[in-house]
């Protein structure tokens, strides 16, 4: 499909030192994931490209069904039938993951690649005690004594804010609150200081107070271990406080990327602007929220050319006939739009 990555400057920010770009820890290029369903073959992820650097948090946002979770699962090699990675490349510290045998992927998962989910029970085993699970997770990848592993597990629980971890270790997951369970899942995911952590809405189901605690802990841990994070959420305000860069997905494509402050303050893509306008906030109290009319298209019926055109206030004939290509903007930004909200920088060839 598109060669979006090769035409773009490499992202700045944490990834550069003295202007020289470092190799990203995670590099996704032109990723295409399809699902064979009753209606035919649908493309859930359609040419997605991004880089994440050491210690960096990339916020992946978009509406339900835009392809965020599928992108996350693809990174971990967890796309199962009827899903299929059709094309593209996913490199972990330069090493290609697509096409790796399942056995090797399993070795990477839980060690260099980790994922946390909205429902922590996706990764926790309900019938095993916490200590059994964590010790197993440590010893699966490292040759250490049971006692040493237990110590590590206790340290890890302490770090994610679980009080009296020694007692907690002997409990079962159902004896914990939702927030505690999510903490255990995070502690387990971070046991081996993974190079990459994919977090799929891990705080969405939690109270703001618990969410804030967990975000604080994750932020600290990632900074400490240099883990690169892909944080998936539909909540722009979470991204505003947590991420360094943001990638906005719509109908399987990234439609805009850039530094968080740039994107939220001066969105280029009308869809990004619409999302920002939809968030209730201080200065919009009592006035109607800007709404994006209509709803996310079903994958079986993605509108032609720019998929956002039926909902877009700026749509023109061009938008309905020609697919907008990824275009670079100042400040290592990218957007795909024929009628962007800010002036385009002179094309740097």
Partner 1 sequence: MAMPDPIIALENVSKRFVKPLDAAEKIANLFGAGLSEQVVRAVDNVTLTIAEGEVVGLVGESGCGKSTLGRIVAGILEPSAGTVRFRGRALAELSGKERRAADLAIQMVFQDPMASLNPRRRVVEIIGEAPVVHGLVRPAEMDAYVCEIMARVGLDPATRRRYPHQFSGGQRARIGIARALAVKPKVLVCDESTAALDVSIQAQVLNLFMTLRQEFGLTYLFVSHDLGVVEHISDRVAVMYLGRIVELSPADEIFRAPNHPYTEALLAEVPRLEPRKKRFSALKGEIPSPLHPPSGCHFHPRCPFAFDRCKVDRPALKKIAPGRFSACHLNDGPEPRPGKAFSDGEAVAA
Ligand X SMILES: Nc1ncnc2c1ncn2[C@@H]1O[C@H](COP(=O)(O)OP(=O)(O)OP(=O)(O)O)[C@@H](O)[C@H]1O
As a whole number of angstroms, the distance between CA 37 and CA 332 comes to: 37
The nearer residue to ligand X, 33 or 156, going by C-beta atoms, is: 33
Give 163-169 contacts, CB < 8 A, sequence gap 24+.
Answer: 168/130, 169/129, 169/130, 169/131, 169/134
φ/ψ region of 18 (left if φ > 0, alpha if ψ in -120 to 50, else beta) reads: left
3-class DSSP assignment, residue 298: coil
Pull the structure tokens for residue 223. 């900074």
The residue (of 10 and 204) whose beta carbon lies closer to partner 1 is 204
Within residues 274-333, the interface with partner 1 by CB under 8 A covers 274-282, 284-286, 288-292, 295-296
Q: Residues 302 to 341: which contact ligand SF4 by CB under 6 A?
A: 306, 308-309, 312, 314-315, 319, 324, 337-339
Task: Output 148 or 205, the one with its CB closest to ligand X.
Answer: 205
Q: Which does 234 bind (CB under 5 to 8 A by kind): Mg ion, ligand X, ligand SF4, none?
A: ligand X
**Looking at 66-74, 120-128, 149-157, 168-176, which segment touches ligand X (CB under 6 A)?**
66-74
59 binds ligand X (CB under 6 A): no
Closest by CA to 57, choosing from 15, 104, 117, is 15
Residue with tokens 């998936």: 232
Among 68-76, 150-158, 186-194, 235-243, the segment contacting ligand X (CB under 6 A)? 68-76
Residue whose CB is less far from partner 1, 81 or 208: 208
In whole angstroms, what is the distance from residue 349 CA to residue 153 CA? Answer: 51
Report in angstroms how near the CB of residue 281 gets to ligand SF4 at its nearest: 23
Does 62 participate in binding ligand X (rule CB under 6 A)? yes
Report d(CA 7, CA 328) in Å as an integer: 8
The binder of 321, among ligand SF4, ligand X, partner 1, none, by C-beta within 5 to 8 A per type, is: none
Report the distance separating Cα 218 and Cα 16, nearest Å. Answer: 23
Determine, following the binding rule CB under 8 A, whether residue 202 of this chain makes contact with partner 1: no
* Given 2, 10, 219, 225, the residue binding partner 1 (CB under 8 A): 219
Q: Which of residues 223-282 bind ligand X (CB under 6 A)?
A: 234
Q: How does strand 113-116 pair with strand 196-200?
A: parallel
The SS3 call for residue 109 is strand
Closest approach, Cβ 311 to partner 1, in A, equals: 9
Q: Which of 37, 140, 223, 295 binds ligand X (CB under 6 A)?
A: 37
Maximum Cα interatomic distance, the chain, rounded to a whole number of Å: 68
Q: Does 225 bind partner 1 (CB under 8 A)?
A: no
Q: How far apart are CA 213 and CA 245, in angstroms?
A: 21
What are the DSSP E strand ranges found in the chain?
Answer: 16-17, 20-21, 26-37, 40-52, 57-61, 83-92, 95-96, 113-116, 196-200, 228-233, 245-250, 253-259, 327-329, 333-335
Q: Is 108 in the site for ligand X (CB under 6 A)?
A: no
Give residues in contact with ligand X (CB under 6 A): 35, 37, 44, 62, 64-70, 82-83, 234, 299
Give residues in contact with partner 1 (CB under 8 A): 63-64, 161, 163, 177, 179-180, 207-213, 215-216, 219, 234-238, 240-242, 244, 260-261, 264, 274-282, 284-286, 288-292, 295-296
């Amino acid at each position: 499909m598109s060669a979006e990555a090769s035409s773009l400057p490499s992202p700045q920010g944490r990834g550069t030192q003295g202007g020289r770009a470092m190799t990203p820890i995670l590099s996704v290029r032109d990723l295409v994931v399809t699902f064979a369903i009753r209606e035919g073959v649908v493309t859930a992820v359609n040419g997605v490209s991004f880089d994440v650097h050491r210690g960096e948090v990339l916020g992946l946002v978009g509406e339900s069904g835009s392809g965020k979770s599928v992108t996350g699962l693809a990174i971990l090699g967890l796309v199962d039938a009827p899903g299929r990675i059709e094309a593209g490349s996913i490199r972990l510290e330069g090493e290609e993951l697509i096409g790796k045998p399942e056995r090797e992927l399993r070795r990477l998962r839980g060690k260099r690649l980790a994922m946390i989910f909205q429902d922590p029970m996706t990764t926790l085993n309900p019938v095993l005690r916490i200590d059994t699970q964590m010790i197993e997770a440590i010893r699966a990848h490292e040759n250490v004594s049971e006692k040493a592993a237990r110590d590590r597990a206790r340290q890890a629980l302490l770090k994610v804010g679980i009080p009296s971890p020694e007692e907690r270790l002997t409990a079962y997951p159902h004896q914990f609150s939702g927030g505690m369970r999510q903490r255990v899942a995070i502690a387990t995911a971070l046991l081996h200081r993974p190079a990459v952590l994919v977090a799929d809405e891990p705080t969405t189901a939690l109270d703001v107070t618990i969410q804030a605690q967990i975000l604080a802990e994750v932020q600290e841990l990632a900074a400490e271990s240099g883990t690169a994070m892909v944080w998936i959420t539909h909540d722009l305000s979470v991204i505003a406080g947590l991420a360094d860069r943001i990638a906005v997905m719509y109908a399987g494509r990234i439609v805009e990327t850039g530094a968080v402050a740039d994107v939220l303050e001066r969105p280029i893509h009308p869809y990004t602007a619409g999302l920002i306008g939809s968030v209730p906030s201080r200065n919009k109290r009592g006035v109607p929220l800007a709404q994006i009319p209509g709803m996310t298209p079903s994958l079986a019926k993605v509108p032609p050319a720019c998929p956002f055109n039926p909902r877009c206030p700026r749509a023109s004939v061009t938008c309905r006939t020609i697919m907008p290509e990824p275009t670079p903007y100042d400040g290592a930004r990218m957007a795909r739009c024929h009628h962007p909200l800010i002036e385009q920088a002179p094309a740097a060839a």
